[in-house]
């Protein structure tokens, strides 16, 4: 349909989440119709973001600073650390504005089928934070899946010797659901209805 540059662009767009070959073609066309106004600013924003992005050494969030803006914010409630599977869950909680504590990004859940073991998760750093006395309560906000439940049990056993209270988010997270997919009201209810793990 187009030259090699255009086909390459479409092939890359088609790999993005929520995109397929058809929507990639549509997006490429929209961009190509306004190269100066749409395409070059987008290309610059992508280069700038790619060069600036850092993984926070404290919590695992993605930001342009390390520690991230959340970890560095003196107004956050440092007594609370909310453990999430991925950065998408953290961003969903932030967008809802219902939680004012700190985070810890685990980087997934234990999964026998997916071959994910304890060594693949960012759990040692969480244990270190608990042992250093960072946070009085650790809230496990993992998805309501079998793997999420297995991971929550494993983490609460791991954290038991530390002087922290471990809680789990309550009702509201539908079975099989992930935090990222919840609306703000359901997220707020899940965080409020947390119980001892
Ligand atoms: Zn951070």
- Spatial CB neighbours of 144, under 8 Å, sequence gap ≥ 6: 173, 174, 175, 176, 177
Q: For residue 149, how far is its CA from the centre of ligand 1 (angstroms)?
A: 24
Q: Using CB atoms within 10 A of its CB, is residue 149 exposed (0-12), middle (13-18) or buried (19+)? A: middle
In this prediction the pTM is 0.84
CA neighbours closer than 13 Å in the CB half-sphere of residue 114: 12
In this prediction, residues 42-49 reach a mean pLDDT of 97
Give residue 72 CA to ligand 1 midpoint distance, Å. 7
Task: For residue 102, report the distance from its CA to the centre of ligand 1, in Å.
Answer: 8
* Ligand 1 center to 189 CA (angstroms): 24
- Residue by residue, DSSP assigns 65-86 as SSS-HHHH-TTSEEEEEEEESS
Q: Is 80 exceeded by the pLDDT of residue 175? A: no
Question: What is the pLDDT at residue 35?
Answer: 95
- C-alpha–C-alpha distance, residues 116 and 190, integer Å: 26
- For residue 95, how far is its CA from the centre of ligand 1 (angstroms)? 16
Q: Mean pLDDT score of the chain, rounded to an integer? A: 91
Residue range 168-178: mean pLDDT, rounded: 68
Query: Which tokens go with 8?
Result: 């390459």
Question: Please, what sign has the CA dihedral across residues 118, 120, 124, 125?
Answer: negative
Question: What would the pLDDT profile of 116-147 be if each residue is shown by its tens digit?
Answer: 999 999 999 999 999 988 889 999 999 888 89
Q: How far is the CA of 131 from the centre of ligand 1 (A)?
A: 18
Supply the pLDDT for residue 112. Answer: 87
How sure is the predictor about 194, in pLDDT bands with cuts at 50, 70 and 90? confident
């Amino acid at each position: 349909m187009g030259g090699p540059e255009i086909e390459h662009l479409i092939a890359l767009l088609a790999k993005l989440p929520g995109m397929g070959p058809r929507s990639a073609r549509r997006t490429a066309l929209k961009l190509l119709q306004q190269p100066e106004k749409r395409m070059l600013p987008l290309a610059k924003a992508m280069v700038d973001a790619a060069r600036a992005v850092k993984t926070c050494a404290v919590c695992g969030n993605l930001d342009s600073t390390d520690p991230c803006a959340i970890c560095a914010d003196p107004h956050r409630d440092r007594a609370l650390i909310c453990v999430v599977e991925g950065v998408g869950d953290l961003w969903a909680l932030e967008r809802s504005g219902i939680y004012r504590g700190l985070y810890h990004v685990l980087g997934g859940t234990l999964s026998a089928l997916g071959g994910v073991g304890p060594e693949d998760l960012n759990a040692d750093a969480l244990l270190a934070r608990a042992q250093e006395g960072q946070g009085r309560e650790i809230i496990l906000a993992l998805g309501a899946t079998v793997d999420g439940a297995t991971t929550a049990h494993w983490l609460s056993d791991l954290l038991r010797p530390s002087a922290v209270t471990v809680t789990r988010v309550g009702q509201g997270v539908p079975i099989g659901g992930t935090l990222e997919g919840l609306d703000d009201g359901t997220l707020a209810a899940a965080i409020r209805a947390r119980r001892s793990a």
